[in-house]
Amino acid sequence: MKKTLTAILAIAFVFVSLGLGQATRPSELKYAALKYEPPDPKAFRTEFANGLRAYVQEDHSLPLFNIMALINFGNIYVSKDKTGLAGSMSETLIKGGTKTREGAAIEERIDFLGGTLNFMAGERTSQLSLSVLSKDIDEGLAIFFDVLMNPEFREDAVRLAKARLIEQLRQANDQPSMVLNREYERLLYGDQPLTWEPTKATYEGITAADLKAVHARYFFPKNIILSASGDFSKADLKTKINKIVGSWKNHSLQFPALVKTFPEIEPGIYFIQKSINQGYISIGHLGIEDTNPDYYAVQVMNFILGGGSFTSRITSKVRSDEGLAYNTGSRFTYRWGFPGTFSGYVQTKSATVGYAISLILKEFERIRKEPVTDGEMETAVNYYLESFADSFQTPQVSMSNFAMLEMQGKAMDYYKTYREKIKGVTKEKVMEVAGKYIHPEKVAIMIVGDWEPSNKGSDKFPDPLDKLGKIHRINLRDPLTGEEIKAQ
């Protein structure tokens, strides 16, 4: 027996040795390229009664049922005097119950079924999602559509929600990172729906009637796209849903006009005083929309600049070489129908605020003027190619992504063409878009931190902050009133 085992091991060793004989180090190992083709949205699109669109995929791997309603409604469709209404709806669509179910009864029943039911209203879209065992699909659908179609927004739930939301306002200035993100966007976008913040008064002015009016206006079949996946028959699901929504009426809807004019920002330092031992910093300006033809090249360029974690230039310089920060990099954000923001960001101790900013600004200039290397290009492009399949991790994620594509009016071959467009980005294109969309001479540098130690600097940057640009002192606003808090 021992001889037989020894012979088998010897033979196995020989085959392994032959297979790896050409590689003397790990970097020399070669693997066959992975092949993955994304699913085609057209194969999953269906339409229910009254024009209710959906993307549906059967998945019998687990006895689960998932469904989400994507509604074309969010914060930016709410008037300024009702700012916070979308947040109030997030709190009360379920808890406020329906015409035939109390909110507490809905939550208790979903818990009993071992499922989840959640609603969230965002900037421009809202989502109601349900997950239950497939054996409970009928009851789950009944509750899901009852909440979607017939919310009651009972007064006690609305009152409690407003009290919670008002209490949360008291902490709005506590986290420096939240203050930075909020005020950076307010600076770049100006006074408009994208940046309006709720106050105690706007929350108190929201009524159950307001919530019902908004629901009646925006929640109807043709303004919603469903995504569903799980252990069911697609034909049976269609029959069940058609029976529920058959009497749900559509109506015409004119959305509020979107404000797409933004202020001209004077370059310089915008400093928000907060007695903390670090500076939280964003450096940049408005970016681009994700419908811009240069979107793919900008993604690759930003990965090299600061979006690629430890491999990016900003992270390598500011964190690895200089040891100034744990959290640093660059980002282009995107939002439906508007340009996003561009920023280099860093969180560093007060004494090195000026030095860290100077290093990031140098990297802005460098990527505009110096060609990126072959290695940088390979790493960036491969990252997007290799992470591409993440958009299809589960059937529900896939269906939800397809629903969002259609809601935003994007080309339905977006995923089919994505990798070829990433592969088509060249070093020359990276330099071109860096010069086109990064403007160091126009950047606003927003800092949340302690003025005196930040302005004093350090050995490597002993100059005051006005060496980097004109100083603008920004007063925080009282989150309860929206009024500026005067400096002491």
What is the structure's pLDDT at 16? 45
Q: How many domains does the chain have?
A: 2
Q: Is residue 31 part of a domain?
A: no
Are residues 299 and 423 both part of a single domain? yes
Tell the burial category of 82 from Cβ atoms under 10 Å away from its Cβ (0-12, 13-18, 19+).
Answer: buried
CA angle 380, 384, 387 (to 5 degrees): 130
- β-pairing, 444-449 vs 268-273, is parallel
Mapping DSSP onto H, E and C, the string for 177-225 reads HHHHHHHHHHHHHCCCCCCCCCCHHHHHCCCHHHHHHHHHHHCCHHHEE
Q: Which two tokens stand for residue 239?
A: 């029959």
Are residues 198 and 278 both part of a single domain? no
What is the structure's pLDDT at 14? 45
Q: Is residue 12 part of a domain?
A: no
Domain boundary among 210, 245, 280: 245
Domain boundary among 245, 277, 301: 245
Q: Which two tokens stand for residue 3?
A: 């001889």
The answer to whether the CB of 53 falls within 8 A of the CB of 226 is yes
What is the structure's pLDDT at 22? 60
Are residues 235 and 279 both part of a single domain? no
Q: Sign of dihedral through CA atoms 482, 470, 434, 350?
A: negative
The answer to whether the CB of 164 falls within 8 A of the CB of 156 is no
Short-list 354, 371, 385, 267, CA closest to 313: 371
What is the structure's pLDDT at 429? 98
What is the structure's pLDDT at 486? 80
Spatial separation of the C-alpha atoms in residues 94 and 103, rounded to whole Å: 6
Residues in the chain: 488
Spatial separation of the C-alpha atoms in residues 329 and 347, rounded to whole Å: 10
The answer to whether the CB of 388 falls within 8 A of the CB of 36 is yes
Are residues 239 and 274 both part of a single domain? no
Largest CA distance in the chain: 88
Are residues 328 and 232 both part of a single domain? no
Contacts of residue 417, defined as CB under 8 A and 6 or more positions apart, other chains included, come to: 411
Q: Is residue 33 part of a domain?
A: no
Q: Is residue 21 part of a domain?
A: no
Task: Output the tens digit of pLDDT for each of the chain's 488 residues.
Answer: 455 545 544 544 444 444 445 667 766 777 676 678 899 999 999 999 999 999 999 999 999 999 999 999 999 999 999 999 999 999 999 999 999 999 999 999 999 999 999 999 999 999 999 999 999 999 999 999 999 999 999 999 999 999 999 999 999 999 999 999 999 999 999 999 999 999 999 999 999 999 999 999 999 999 999 999 999 999 999 999 999 999 999 999 999 999 899 999 999 999 999 999 999 999 999 999 999 999 999 999 999 999 987 889 999 999 999 999 999 999 999 999 999 999 999 999 999 999 999 999 999 999 999 999 999 999 999 999 999 999 999 999 999 999 999 999 999 999 999 999 999 999 999 999 999 999 999 999 999 999 999 999 999 999 999 999 999 999 999 999 999 998 65
Are residues 235 and 272 both part of a single domain? no
CA R_g for the chain = 27
Are residues 435 and 391 both part of a single domain? yes
Are residues 367 and 223 both part of a single domain? no
Spatial separation of the C-alpha atoms in residues 148 and 93, rounded to whole Å: 8
pTM of the shown model: 0.91
What is the structure's pLDDT at 394? 97
What is the structure's pLDDT at 298? 98
Are residues 240 and 360 both part of a single domain? no
Q: Which domain covers residue 430, as residue numbers?
A: 268-474
Residue with structure tokens 């909020």?
Answer: 182
Mapping DSSP onto H, E and C, the string for the chain reads CHHHHHHHHHHHHHHHHHHHCCCCCHHHCCCCCCCCCCCCHHHCEEECHHHCEEEEEECCCCCEEEEEEEECCCHHHCCHHHCCHHHHHHHHCCCCCECCCCHHHHHHHHHHCCCEEEEEECCCCEEEEEEEEHHHHHHHHHHHHHHHHCECCCHHHHHHHHHHHHHHHCCCCCCHHHHHHHHHHHHHHCCCCCCCCCCHHHHHCCCHHHHHHHHHHHCCHHHEEEEEEECCCHHHHHHHHHHHHCCCCCCCCCCCCCCCCCCCCCCEEEEEECCCCEEEEEEEEECCCCCCCCHHHHHHHHHHHHHCHHHCHHHHHHHHHCCCCCCEEEEECCECCECCEEEEEEEEEHHHHHHHHHHHHHHHHHHHHCCCCHHHHHHHHHHHHHCHHHHHCCHHHHHHHHHHHHHCCCCCCHHHHHHHHHHCCCHHHHHHHHHHHCCHHHCEEEEEECHHHHHHCECCECCCHHHHCCEEEECCECCCCCCECCCC
CATH number of the domain residue 429 falls in: 3.30.830.10
The answer to whether the CB of 93 falls within 8 A of the CB of 46 is no
Q: Is residue 206 part of a domain?
A: yes
Are residues 285 and 405 both part of a single domain? yes
Q: Which two tokens stand for residue 176?
A: 């420096």
Are residues 138 and 276 both part of a single domain? no
Spatial separation of the C-alpha atoms in residues 377 and 427, rounded to whole Å: 7
Q: Is residue 7 part of a domain?
A: no
Tell the burial category of 174 from Cβ atoms under 10 Å away from its Cβ (0-12, 13-18, 19+).
Answer: exposed
Spatial separation of the C-alpha atoms in residues 412 and 406, rounded to whole Å: 7
- β-pairing, 224-230 vs 53-58, is parallel
Are residues 80 and 211 both part of a single domain? yes
Q: Is residue 14 part of a domain?
A: no
Q: Is residue 484 part of a domain?
A: no
